[in-house]
Amino acid sequence: MRQKILLCLINVVILFTGCSAKETETVPIIPKATGGMEKEPILEYTIPDCAPGILVNQAGYKIEDKKVAIFRGKTLPDTFHVCNAETGEVVFEGNLELRGSDKVTGEQIGYAGFTEVQTPGEYYIESDILGYSYTFPINDKIYKELLEQNILRLHTKVENRESLTEEEITNTCKAVTNILIAFEMHGEIFGDDLGIQESGNEIPDLIDILHSQIILLSEQKEIVLSSADWEMVSYYASAIAKFSYTYKEYDSVFATSCLQLADSVWRYMERNASQVDGKFRFMAAAELYRVSGGGKYHNYIKEYCRNTEEPVNAEREAVYGAVTYIATRQQVDMDICARFMKEIMNEAEEISAQTGSSFYQVNITADQKNNDEIMWDMVVLTIVDHVISNHEYATIIENHLHYLLGRNSMAISYVDGVGERDYSVKEGQQSIMDGGFKESALLFMLSEVNDRDIEEEQE
C-alpha cells in the first residue's frame, strides 16, 4: 500500500515539476449537461507521457560498485538525497556534479554519485525541482538474477513452436550464435539447476534449451534449402555448425547430424555462389572448418581474405567468422589471425572512444532509432574484453547495462518485466526483447559481467 501511495505522489510531483513529455494522448472529457444546454460540450486535453528527470538503473546496483544517477532538466538542483524506499529515511545526501548542456534537448545534465550507499535494500533518489526517481534495489544478485531470467525467457519462447517464418529462422540463428559464443567464453557460470524439465541431466540448462531450438531449426531445412535469402541461409549453416562444435561433448551422434545438416546448407550456397555475398559464405566456412577441419572450408577462408581489402569489423558476419577462426584449434594462417585480431581490436577502441562523448556514457547518436547498434557494439566489446581483460571495457559494458535498464533519456527499462517502467508499456523499435540478436546480446553482456563477479570473488 505504501508503495502505491508513493507512486501516486511521484506521478503528481513529476507532472508539475521535472516532467519530460515525450508523447501525448488525447483524452475526451464529457461533463454532465446543465440548465438549458441542448448538447453536452466535448472538451479535450492532453496528458503528457512523463518520465522522471532523475534516471537510475531500475534493476539496481551491486553493493560495492560505482553508483551514479543522471539528472536532466532545464534547471537542476544543487543537492540530492538517497532514501530508503520502505521508510522514506534519507540515508545519503550528495552534491550534484554538473556535466553540461545537451545540445539536442537543451537540458542540463548532472551526475549524482552515491557509491557510499552499500546497505542492501530498496531505494529511490529525491531532489528539489526534479522530484523523485523510480525505485531500485542494491544487492549483489542483480545481474545473476537477470541472466537466469533471460535464459528462462528463452526457454519459454522455444516451447510449443512447430514452425518458423524465414525472419524467425534468421532471428533464432542470430540468437543461437551469440549465446554459443557467450557459453564458450563463460561456460562455468551456466548451471544445470534452473528448474526446467532437463535440469539435473549434467548438461547446462542453457545448452538443453539451445538443443530444443536446434531441433526446431532442423525441421525448417526445406525452407532454408529453397530460399534466396542468403542472410538467413548463412546464419542457419553457421548456427547449426557452431552448435555441433559445442554439443559433441554431450552427444556426438546428434552433433554429427548437425554437422551434416550444416554442410548440406554450405553446398547449397556453393551451388549458388554467384548470388551469395562473400561475407555470408566466410562466416559459415569458419564455423564448418573449426568443427570438421575440412580443407574446402579453409580454402574459402583464405580466398575470402585474399580478395577482401575491407576490414572484417565492417560487417557483422565477417566479425563472427573472424572470431571463430581465431578460436579454432585447427591449423590456421597466423597472418590472417593477426589481421583479424587487429581489426576487431581497432573497432573496440573506436567504440570506447565514442562513449566518452555521451552524457549517458554509451555510444548513441542524436538520430538513433533503435538499440540495435549499441547492442552490436557491446558484442564486439565483450569479445575483446574477454581476450584482453580491459578494465575500461568492463566499465563501458556495465554503463550500457545501466542505460538499457533505465538510465536513458526515456527513463525506461528495455527489459520487459524489470523495473517500475519497462518497455512493455510502449510500442516501437527500441525494445531489445526481440527473441533474436538484441535479446541474445543482452545475455552476452550479462554473462561477461557475471563471470567477472566470480573472478573477483575468487581473488
| Residue 415 near residue 371 (C-beta atoms within 8 A) | no
State which of 93, 116, 138 marks the end of a domain: 138
Query: What is the CA 236 to chain-centroid distance, rounded?
Result: 21
CB 99 within 8 A of CB 356: no
Asked if residue 272 and residue 334 are part of one domain, the reply reads yes
Of all residues in the chain, the percent with pLDDT exceeding 70 is 85
Do 208 and 274 belong together in one domain? yes
Is 187 in the same domain as 124? no
Q: What is the mean pLDDT of residues 340-360?
A: 91
The pLDDT-based confidence of 329 (bands split at 50, 70, 90) is very high
Q: Which of 103, 138, 173 is the last residue of a domain?
A: 138
Specify the higher pLDDT residue, 372 or 76.
76
Together in a domain, 95 and 184: no
Domain boundary, last residue among 113, 138, 163 = 138
The residue ranking higher by pLDDT, 29 or 387, is: 387
Beta strand 90-95 with 79-84 is antiparallel
What pLDDT is recorded for position 48? Answer: 46
Same domain, 210 and 345: yes
Residues 202 and 193 sit within 8 Å (Cβ to Cβ): no
Structural domain that includes position 45: 2-138
How confident is residue 156, by pLDDT bands cut at 50, 70 and 90?
A: confident
Residue 338 banded pLDDT, cuts 50, 70, 90: very high
98 neighbors 76 (Cβ within 8 angstroms):
yes
Same domain for 448 and 307, yes or no, is yes
Coil vs helix vs strand at 191: coil
Strands annotated E in 85-229: 90-95, 97-101, 108-113, 121-127, 131-132, 136-138
CATH code for position 105: 2.60.40.10
CATH number of the domain within which 208 lies: 1.50.10.10
* CA distances, 262 to each of 81, 242, 309 (Å): 57, 9, 28
Together in a domain, 79 and 150: no
Do residue 415 and residue 335 come from a single domain?
yes
| Distant-in-sequence, close-in-space partners of 43: CB < 8 Å, separation ≥ 6 | 28, 29, 30, 31
Do 216 and 130 belong to one domain? no
Whether the per-residue pLDDT at 176 is higher than 50: the answer is yes
CA distance 58 to 144: 15
Say whether both 284 and 305 belong to one domain. Answer: yes
**Domains of the chain: total:** 2
Q: What is the pLDDT of residues 194-207, one digit of tens each?
A: 999 999 999 999 99
Angle, CA of 16, 20 and 24, to the nearest 5° = 95
Decide which of 454 and 252 is more confident: 252
Question: Which range, of 124-128, 177-181, 431-435, averages the lowest pLDDT?
Answer: 431-435
Fill in the DSSP letter of residue 61.
Answer: B
**Same domain, yes or no: 162 and 38:** no
67 and 152 both lie in a single domain: no
Q: For residues 381 and 444, what is the distance between their CA atoms, to the nearest angstrom?
A: 11
